Amino acid sequence: MRGIGPGGSVGFLACPALPPRSPRSRQAFRTLPTRYLGAAKGFDATYHVRLGDVGHTFEVRCTEAAVRVRKGTTRREPDVVIATDAGTWLRLRAGELAGLDAFRERTLYARGRIDLALAFEGMFRLPNGRDPIMRVHDVRLKGRRISTLTLGDGPDVVLIHGLGSAKTSFFDTAAALRHEGYRVHVIDLPGFGSSKGSATAPYSAPWFAETVIDWMDALGVDRTHVVGNSMGGRVALEVGLRAPERVGGLVLLCPAVAFVKRGLHPLVRLLRPELGLLPHRIARPVVARQLFSMFADPDALDPSVADIAVDEFQITYAAAGARLAFLRAARNLYLDAPFGPDGFYPRLAGLEPEALFVWGTHDPLIPAGFARHVRRWLPDARQVLLEGCGHVPQIERPERTLELIVEHLRRVGSPAGAPGLRLVA
């Protein structure tokens, strides 16, 4: 199946051998206007959908109240390119699987503005008037707008990304948790991905946690499980500390706990995040190298996932407000006091929701040695050490990480198991 590789080049993605489905796939495109649910005021996005196995590309332009479909393309620059095969496209249009399922199966690939790619599915009714399987929606709070991906039915689970990341880091996890019987919400924290903050926001873990709680209020979510990676894990802990009655289970994947040794503390205090408002960019190869360095085995990161993550970072970081959010959040994490009256670890001792900490033996950012500090202050917490894993276990060790998440969420409320640090393959 043809796909779009790095730099926009055409590559090939593996997909199952399929009989010709060209007429049926064309019909599925023709019915899009009658299924269109509309979009927000001023919305205008152009999609190129490439069906590699039948050799067709369709241009779909969605506006506030109408959608126009044509076989072939115009000179209009697409906001999103979606590459898949005719069989997968028909299954998507029939509601037999969600777009994230196809992405998890690696039979669908997207480049460009990822939130627009995600939103595409939620803008069209399924056959027989059924609602879309998943939808992207904005939750507006005072001074903030939170881009949210919601899919599935069941107990609520919110997934929170790390510093410099966004929803993309939890795509596969979200798809899998839907099939485990959860209603999954994947959010972009304000200032990251497609969410918006403000120039005066502190972008600290407590402020992000208050945002998550406000987001829950706005959606009417009384209680939820919270899963976070890196900075998202730190935010998840803060939610558990501030509103324990509203949290079921906590799963912290390589969480950005407070650094104990902070040799650069004086220098970092002097650095001003406001310098991020000055126009600058980070070259794509630099972003890609940094991304791959987060993995013990760089080959564990699928190139299609890497493309999407790098695309999203570059698009987001091009905005001055996003650069400010990134630098201010990074500074706050480093300066977070570990001890003292308001220190992170003494406060951690008061955590009430049952927590699972997952560490990687080869994490270059948050070494697994932090487990001993967690054990000292929160001895009842369950801790698991993944052998040969870096900083993003939900991508590098997806099956095992999913098992740990589901197992923990299902045991919340049951007697706690024996605490300690377990090394698993």
pLDDT value of position 341: 87
**What's the CA gap between 170 and 159, in Å, rounded?**
7
Give the HSE-up count for residue 308: Cα atoms under 13 Å, Cβ half-sphere: 27
Contact predicate 59/81, CB 8 Å:
no
Report DSSP state, residue 318. Answer: T
**What's the CA gap between 103 and 133, in Å, rounded?**
14
- Together in a domain, 163 and 68: no
pLDDT value of position 174: 98
Looking at 76, 100, 129, the residue that finishes a domain is: 129
- Together in a domain, 261 and 201: yes
356-383 burial, b for 16+ CB within 10 Å, e for fewer? Answer: bbbbbebbeebebebbebbbebbeebbb
Question: Which residue, chain included where needed, has tokens 């040969």?
Answer: 388
- Together in a domain, 100 and 214: no
- The CATH number of the domain holding residue 122 is 3.30.1050.10
Looking at 129, 162, 193, the residue that finishes a domain is: 129
- Together in a domain, 195 and 46: no
Read off the pLDDT of residues 115-160 as tens digits, 9 standing for 90 and up.
999 999 999 999 999 999 999 999 999 999 999 999 999 999 999 9
pLDDT value of position 281: 86
- Together in a domain, 171 and 46: no
- Together in a domain, 314 and 254: yes
Domain tally, the chain = 2
- Together in a domain, 263 and 387: yes
Positions of the chain with pLDDT lower than 50, given as ranges: 1-19, 414-420
- Together in a domain, 154 and 64: no
Q: Which domain holds residue 316?
A: 134-424
Looking at 129, 153, 173, the residue that finishes a domain is: 129
Residues 6 or more apart from 226 whose CB is under 8 A from it? 157, 158, 160, 212, 236, 239, 240, 247, 248, 249, 250, 251
Helix, strand or coil, per DSSP, at residue 424: strand
- Together in a domain, 195 and 271: yes
- Together in a domain, 138 and 29: no
- Together in a domain, 114 and 138: no
- Together in a domain, 89 and 143: no
Of 111, 104, 46, 62, nearest to 83 (Cα)?
Answer: 111
- The CATH number of the domain holding residue 191 is 3.40.50.1820
What global pTM score does this model have?
0.90
pLDDT value of position 60: 98
